[in-house]
Amino acid sequence: MAQETQPITTIPPSLHGRVDHWNNLLWSVGSADIPPGEASIAGIGAATKLPWLPSARRVELLEYFCRDRVKAALAPELQDYLHTLNRNKPNYRLGTYFERLWSFAFRQHPDYELRHQNLPLRKDGKTLGELDFVVQHLPSRRCEHWEIAVKFYLQVARHHWVGPGLKDRLDIKLARMADHQLPLIRTPGVQSLLRDHGLQIDRQWALMPGRLFKPLNTLQQLSNHPFWWAPLSEFRALCQDQPPFASHEWLPLPKRAWLAPQGHLAGISAERLVETLRSTGFTQPLCIAAIDSSGEACRGFIVPDDWHRRAEAGLPP
């Protein structure tokens, strides 16, 4: 995977989307999970079995970090925290960045005590699994196991959603959370390992914010679903004469800018974006945000023209 320190296009970095750690923290703790509101998902049965974090808990977290005094005190600390982690243990995966935002939230919110992060469970030299977070929820006096993920999927067939890198699928992720990651703590061998750590887990939560991107040619109004994907040739045709694509400015987004919406920033024209991609041997999906006078208007993935064929080839028969 390309590191975030490398350019995502030959467009100057000053015209890329902005990575705002504090806004990304707010987005991470406040965004709804992606499965429950979307019916057209293969394996939706797995989603119904998962113990999704209640919305009231999410609201409490978001309200705390939205306070002006909390931001004034903690935003510089978050910057230093992430800088120190990346200096001591460099990791440019978006999932790791997301976990680090949550680690900071658990350490700073007065209702939580972080007991373990990425707790490995090993027996007889074999790793049985790993727990993302074990936290003490102080108001309820309950010890909680949280499994979290941040995911971005493109709709390929009616019920199948695939990661832009073609290495991930929503139904597979949901099944793994429901059938392995959450039930892990109830297996006999793991119960004894937890006792060795002095843990008695009272309840579990699943959390998976992200975005679902639908094929652009299936959307009648972007205002109803402002997340889309399109092959480069289709995007180029739309940008030649069809508003709003021709009139928007566009921001290529590095992965850490995939979370919070972008503000009103200077971008580039659709024509320049397309010609840059065509001239540089475009081979990997690119996340972009459309900017108008009020900020981010919509967001999408431009994909190589053969991406859909390759994505369909990986689906079950």
Span 232-246, pLDDT tens digits: 999 998 887 666 677
Give the count of domains, the chain.
2
* pLDDT over threshold 70, residue 139: yes
Dig out the tokens for 189 from the structure: 């061998």
Q: Which residue has the higher pLDDT, 239 or 24?
A: 24
Lowest mean pLDDT among 1-15, 70-84, 96-110, 188-202: 1-15
* Domain enclosing residue 241, as ranges: 212-313
The reply to whether 181 and 93 lie within a common domain is yes
SS3 124: coil
> In this structure, what are the phi and psi dihedrals at residue 119, rounded to the nearest 5 degrees?
-75, 110
Stretch 141-161: mean pLDDT: 94
Name the residue among 161, 142, 140 with its Cα closest to residue 151.
161
Dig out the tokens for 134 from the structure: 């074990």
Q: How far apart are CA 310 and CA 262, in angstroms?
A: 30
Alpha-carbon dihedral of residues 23, 26, 29, 33, nearest 10 degrees?
-70
Q: How far apart are CA 2 and CA 58, in angstroms?
A: 32
Q: Is residue 160 part of a domain?
A: no
The reply to whether 21 and 46 lie within a common domain is yes
Q: What angle do CA 69, 74, 76 make, to 5 degrees?
A: 120
The reply to whether 204 and 225 lie within a common domain is no
Q: Give the pLDDT of residue 243.
A: 66
Stretch 6-21: mean pLDDT: 77
The reply to whether 82 and 203 lie within a common domain is yes
Stretch 143-157: mean pLDDT: 96
Q: Give the pLDDT of residue 36.
A: 57
Name the residue among 207, 210, 209, 6 with its Cα closest to residue 92.
6
DSSP designation for 48: H
Q: How many residues does the chain have?
A: 317
The reply to whether 193 and 268 lie within a common domain is no
The reply to whether 81 and 177 lie within a common domain is yes
Lowest mean pLDDT among 147-156, 162-171, 176-185, 265-274: 265-274
The reply to whether 117 and 253 lie within a common domain is no
Stretch 62-85: mean pLDDT: 97
The reply to whether 131 and 277 lie within a common domain is no
Q: Say what percent of the chain tops pLDDT 90.
A: 65
The reply to whether 139 and 244 lie within a common domain is no
Is residue 163 within 8 Å of 220, Cβ to Cβ? no
The reply to whether 220 and 205 lie within a common domain is no
Span 252-298, pLDDT tens digits: 999 999 999 998 888 888 889 999 998 888 889 999 999 988 889 99
Q: Give the pLDDT of residue 4.
A: 40
**Residue 222 pLDDT class (50, 70, 90 cuts):** confident
The reply to whether 96 and 45 lie within a common domain is yes
Q: Give the pLDDT of residue 188.
A: 80
Stretch 181-207: mean pLDDT: 93
Q: How far apart are CA 28 and CA 21, in angstroms?
A: 10
**Encoded amino acid at 140, one letter:** S
Q: Is residue 145 part of a domain?
A: yes
Q: Give the pLDDT of residue 104.
A: 98
* pLDDT over threshold 50, residue 205: yes
Q: Is residue 138 part of a domain?
A: yes
